[in-house]
Amino acid sequence: MNKGILIVSFGTSYLDTLDRTIGVIEREAAETFPDRRVYRAFTSHMIIRKLKSRENRKVDTVEEALKRMAAEGIEDVIVQPTHIINGVENDRMMEDLREHRGLFRRIRAGRPLLSSVEDYKKAVHAVMGQTKLEEGEMLVLMGHGTDHHANSAYPTLEYTFHALGYEQVLVGTVENFPELKNVMTKLEISGKKKTALMPFMLVAGDHAQNDMAGEEDSWKSRLEEKGYDVRVIMKGLGEFSGIRKIFMEHIEEAESEDTV
C-alpha cells in the first residue's frame, strides 16, 4: 500500500517560527518514517487565508489534505496532530477524519502532545533539559487556554513540573485558567523578582510575540509594572528535540491503532 502521514497543526503566519517548529517536525517525520509520504494541513482557516494573501503560500485544510492524499494514491494514512491538548481543534480534526475515512483502506490518528501521564513527564524533562535558567529565576510558561474541559491540562502540567522537582516553574494561559493574575500571586509568594517568560505553545507566533512579549498590555509589560525583572525566551515547543520525539512516538503508536 502507498502510505502517508498527515501532520495537522493549528498553524502560524510567522514564517521563521513556522520553519523552526512545524517544518522541523514534518522533516523529522519524513526521516523517521521513510516509507510514508508526509503532508501538511492547518486547522486555522484565518491563518490559511493570511498565508495565501500575504505570502502566496497555499496550505490545505484537513479535508483538502485528505482528498489530496486520496487523489495521489495514498491508501494507508496516519494523521498526527501537533496540538498540545485534546481540545477543540483536535475534536474538529477527528470529525474530519471520521467523515473522510472512506477515502482510505486504513486511517489512524496519533495523540496530541499531552495525552498520558508519561507524556506530561517527558514534556517537562524536554523543556527543562534545554532551558537554562539564571540563579533565582522563575520560569513562567504561557499556554493558550480554552473553555474546553481539556484546559485542565495546564494546572496538571504545573503540578507535574513541581512533582518532578521544578518548583521554579509556573504555568498560565492567555484565554482561561490559570490566568496571569494567578501566576503573579504565586510569584509574589515565591519572593523572587527575576522571571523568564516562554510560550508553552508549538510555535512562538502571535500570542508569544504580542500577548506574552509585546510592549503594551502584555504579560511582560504587566510583570515589569509590578517590579519584576523579565527575560523573554522566544522559543516554540517545536524547537525542543524532546517534544518532537514525543510526536514521533505518537506516530509510531498510531501504526498499531484501529481505524478512526
- How does pLDDT run across 168-224, given as a tens digit for each residue? 999 999 999 999 999 999 999 999 999 999 999 999 999 999 999 999 999 999 999
The alpha helices in the chain, defined as continuous H runs, are: 15-18, 24-32, 45-55, 62-71, 88-100, 117-129, 153-163, 180-190, 206, 219-225, 241-254
Structural domains of the chain, ranges and CATH numbers in brackets: 3-112+240-254 (3.40.50.1400), 117-237 (3.40.50.1400)
Q: Are 233 and 198 in contact (CB under 8 A)?
A: yes
Instruction: Report the share of the chain in percent with pLDDT over 70.
Output: 100
Phi and psi at 8, nearest 5°, equal: -105, 120
Average pLDDT over every residue of 240-245: 98
Phi-psi region of 155 (alpha: psi -120 to 50; beta: other; left: phi over 0): alpha
**Could you tell me which residue, 260 or 25, shows the higher pLDDT?**
25
Q: What is the pLDDT of residue 258?
A: 86
> Position of cell 474541559?
149
Q: Is pLDDT at 1 greater than 90 in this prediction? A: no
Give residue 10's pLDDT: 97
User: 79 near 257, Cβ under 8 Å?
Assistant: no
Average pLDDT over residues 121-149: 97
Per-residue pLDDT averaged across 123-150, rounded? 97
Q: What's the CA gap between 222 and 245, in Å, rounded?
A: 35
pTM (2 d.p.):
0.97
Residue 157 reports pLDDT greater than 90: yes
Whether 144 is catalytic: yes
User: Which of the residues 45, 100, 125, 144 is marked catalytic?
Assistant: 144
Amino acid identity at 17: T
pLDDT bin (cut points 50, 70, 90) of residue 47 is very high
Q: For residue 37, what is the DSSP state? A: E
Q: Which CA distances in Å does 13 have to 56, 100, 203?
A: 11, 27, 10
| pLDDT for the residue numbered 74 | 98
Split at pLDDT 50, 70, 90, the class of 259 is: confident
